[in-house]
Copies of this chain bind each other. A is one copy, B any other.
């Protein structure tokens, strides 16, 4: 496969998994309801993203820094709402 196309595949995949948090953030913001959301999921993911972010910083990979920096903020907001609204 064309290497440029292949890298594009990886980048679009990373962009989608990053952006995917946004609809959940909007839903939580609108409804203020978090009962069905697992605190475990977002907490474990948050710690994983911190490690990925540090890894990206050490590698100097802007794709990793940007994606994980963004999802950290999104997941952090969902965790904060879960802790606040229960």
Residues on A lying within 8 angstroms of B by beta carbon are: 1, 6, 9-10, 12-24, 26-28, 31, 33-45, 47-52, 54-55, 58-59
Q: This chain: how many copies in the complex?
A: 2
List 5 extra interface pairs beyond A13-B49, A16-B47, A17-B45, CB under 8 A.
Answer: A13-B55, A20-B40, A23-B41, A27-B36, A37-B37
Q: A43 CA to B36 CA in the complex, in Å?
A: 17
Q: Is there an interface contact between A35 and B36, defined as CB atoms closer than 8 Å? A: yes
Residue among A14, A22, A39, A45 with most chain B CB within 10 A: A45
Q: How near does chain B come to A40, taking the closest CB pair, in angstroms? A: 3
Contacting residues, chain B, for A35 (C-beta < 8 A): 33, 35-36
